[in-house]
């Protein structure tokens, strides 16, 4: 039920963002050949935790059985890219998300931390050459897992998996070269102990055309 409520909440945020996009003003979009950089932050809708496969320390169990659930929380990152033509461009983004910490794990004797580093390379399409765009492409999801037990670190593992992302966004002009971007995306990937099926994020960014 918690997962279903989270997805319903995410859908409402997505519908609100789309309404804002349709009602919002236009931007002085980047000219073909211009680069842009962005700093972004927003809300991350986490996926599912999975079985701990081949982890040393006798913890071949489900993370849920240890009393942990993935939590929706803040995310942040950077983007950089180039508008190659009126109707298309590309961007590279790097984001960070920490699955929330739990106070009670392994009968209060252990701490588990899962962090996600998310690298996406996306092709952007601007219908009509304006400020609204779709994007998508491949990427890499780096999933870091640490487990501490009895004041000692018993697991320090990292998995890198191929990912894919799809999203849409809109740009609002706030100056001669500065802009605000609102954005929503879904991301698909599967690691040994974490699965984006899919994950989703809603973000806002401040950016500059160079």
Q: What is the pLDDT of residues 109-157, one digit of tens each?
A: 456 777 889 999 999 999 988 899 999 999 999 988 777 766 777 777 7
Q: How far is the C-alpha of 115 from the C-alpha of 92, rounded, in Å?
A: 20
Three-state SS for 110-179 is: EEEEEEEEEEEEEEEECHHHCCEEEEEEEEEEEEEEEEEECCEEEEEEEEEEEEEEEEEEEEEECCCCEE
Torsion of CA 84, 164, 92, 8, to 10 degrees: 100
User: Does the model's pTM come out above 0.95?
Assistant: no
Higher-confidence residue of 92 and 28: namely: 92
Query: Which SS3 state, helix, strand or coil, does residue 29 take?
Result: coil
pLDDT, averaged across the chain: 77
Segment holding 175, helix H or strand E:
none
Q: How confident is the model at residue 70, as a pLDDT?
A: 65
- Select from 60, 25, 71, 52 the least CA-distant residue to 191: 52
Do residues 31 and 45 make contact, with C-beta atoms less than 8 angstroms apart? no
Return all residues near 4 (Cβ < 8 A) that are at least 6 apart: none
Higher-confidence residue of 62 and 147: namely: 147
Do residues 181 and 174 make contact, with C-beta atoms less than 8 angstroms apart? no
Q: How confident is the model at residue 58, as a pLDDT?
A: 47
What the block records as the tokens of 104 is 């009670």
Q: How confident is the model at residue 206, as a pLDDT?
A: 96
Do residues 187 and 118 make contact, with C-beta atoms less than 8 angstroms apart? yes
- Give the model's confidence band at 60: pLDDT under 50 very low, under 70 low, under 90 confident, else very high: very low
- Select from 124, 132, 118, 134 the least CA-distant residue to 91: 124
Q: How confident is the model at residue 21, as a pLDDT?
A: 46
Spell out the domains of the chain, with CATH numbers in brackets. Answer: 2-209 (2.40.160.20)
Q: How far is the C-alpha of 174 from the C-alpha of 172, rounded, in Å?
A: 6
What digits encode the pLDDT tens for the residues 9-52? 555 555 455 444 444 444 556 678 899 999 999 999 887 766 55
What digits encode the pLDDT tens for the residues 184-208? 999 998 877 677 778 899 999 999 9
Do residues 70 and 99 make contact, with C-beta atoms less than 8 angstroms apart? yes
Q: How confident is the model at residue 147, as a pLDDT?
A: 74
Q: How many helices (H) and strands (E) does the chain have?
A: 1, 9
């Amino acid at each position: 039920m918690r997962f279903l409520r989270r997805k319903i909440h995410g859908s409402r945020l997505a519908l609100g963002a789309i309404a804002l996009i349709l009602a919002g003003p236009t931007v002085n979009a980047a000219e073909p050949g211009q680069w842009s950089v962005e700093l972004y932050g927003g809300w991350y809708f986490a996926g599912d935790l999975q079985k701990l496969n081949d982890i040393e320390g006798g913890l071949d169990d489900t993370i849920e059985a240890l009393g942990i659930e993935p939590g929706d929380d803040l995310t942040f990152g950077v983007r950089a890219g180039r508008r190659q033509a009126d109707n298309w461009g590309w961007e590279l983004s790097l984001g960070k998300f920490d699955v929330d910490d739990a106070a009670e794990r392994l009968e209060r004797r252990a701490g588990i931390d899962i962090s996600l580093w998310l690298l996406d390379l996306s092709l952007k399409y601007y219908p009509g050459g304006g400020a609204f765009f779709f994007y998508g492409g491949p990427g890499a999801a780096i999933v870091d897992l640490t487990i501490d037990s009895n004041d000692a670190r018993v697991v320090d593992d990292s998995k890198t998996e191929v990912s894919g992302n799809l999203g849409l966004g809109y740009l609002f002009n706030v100056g001669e070269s500065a802009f605000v971007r609102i954005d929503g995306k879904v991301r698909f990937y599967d690691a040994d102990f974490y699965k984006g099926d899919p994950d989703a994020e809603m973000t806002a960014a401040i950016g500059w055309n160079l």
